[in-house]
Structure 1
Amino acid sequence: MDHQISSGAKVITVDVHAAKNLLNSGHRYLDVRTVEEFEKGHVEKAFNIPYMFDTPQGRVKNPKFMEQVLSTCCKEDHLIVGCQSGVRSVYATSDLLKAEFKHVSNMGGGYIAWVENGFAVQKPKLEL
């Protein structure tokens, strides 16, 4: 499922199996869920930059998203972008492509699909 964006670049969506293979070959995983979602569990070695924040008025876009990504990544990095179910990550991937990131893919199905496939996740350690 490709989504055309105004710059002419297409958001490429890969399934979780393809994403896992790309991560094993050196891609980095950008988790765009909220910090709260990320802390409940995430793809191993993922880094978290929320695309949206939960507020009393509902979700709002993180105004510093691109600035935060650019402080962690360069435009040549190979990135897989994921969220909870694969919706926010499409928008985040689109924004990254518009900002001239060259190697960015959206992970279809998000963290939910990753877990459903039994792939490894990092979860918080329970205090005893």
Structure 2
Amino acid sequence: MECGGKRSEEEVAENIDPKMAKELLQSGYRYLDVRTVNEYRKGNVKDSINIPYWFLNSKGRETNPQFMELVLKSFSKDDYIVVACASGTRSAAASLDLINSGFKHVKNMSCGYNGWTKAGLNKNKITSNL
């Protein structure tokens, strides 16, 4: 799928491109960054919240067993949320989990943070909230 392209019937969260994400953030949406802490520390969107969706270990990747618990500490199920990772894969999975857990207003930034920086949008260098 192209960045911000149309959704397939299997997808639940609406996919948006980085420019639309920025507009939504300016209108009150909040940004959930599901990349690893190391990825997040290299650069991130201002005022974003970092909660990794996957961890890499000796067996490969593993879903963060505390993901939903941590999300619920930072967001309510009625919050308007843009979910993003590096390229859109993890955020699509995380968005689906959020919607299946009752979150009502979830958008997936399908190009991820890589698309955000390629679009020339602001880059913020700070450490993770974790």
Aligned-partner Cα distance in 2 for 1:36–1:3: 31
Gapped regions of structure 2 (runs ≥ 5): 1-5
Number of the residue aligned with 1:23: 25
Number of the residue aligned with 1:14: 16
CA displacement, residues 24-61 of structure 1 (integer Å, 9 cap, x when unaligned): 11110000000110011001111100000121222211
**TM value normalised by structure 1:** 0.90
CA shift at 1:89, angstroms?
A: 0.3
Identity, in percent, stands at: 45
Does the aligned pair in 2 maintain the 1:39–1:123 contact within 8 Å? yes
Greater strand fraction, Structure 1 or Structure 2: 1
Q: Secondary structure of the residue that 2:32 maps to in structure 1? A: strand
Amino acid across the alignment from 1:66: M
Amino acid across the alignment from 1:2: R
Q: Which of 1 and 2 has greater Rg?
A: 1
- The question of 1:2 aligning with 2:4 is answered no
Aligned-partner Cα distance in 2 for 1:39–1:45: 13
2:110 to 98, 108, 111: 108
Does the aligned pair in 2 maintain the 1:84–1:111 contact within 8 Å? yes
Does the aligned pair in 2 maintain the 1:27–1:78 contact within 8 Å? yes
Two-structure CA RMSD over aligned residues (Å) = 1.5
Amino acid across the alignment from 2:23: N
Does the aligned pair in 2 maintain the 1:39–1:124 contact within 8 Å? yes
Moved over 3 A (4+): none
**TM value normalised by structure 2:** 0.88
Counting only pairs closer than 5 Å after superposition, residues 33-52 of structure 1 correspond to structure 2 as: 33-52=35-54
Gapped regions of structure 1 (runs ≥ 5): none
Count of residues in Structure 1 that have an aligned counterpart in Structure 2: 122
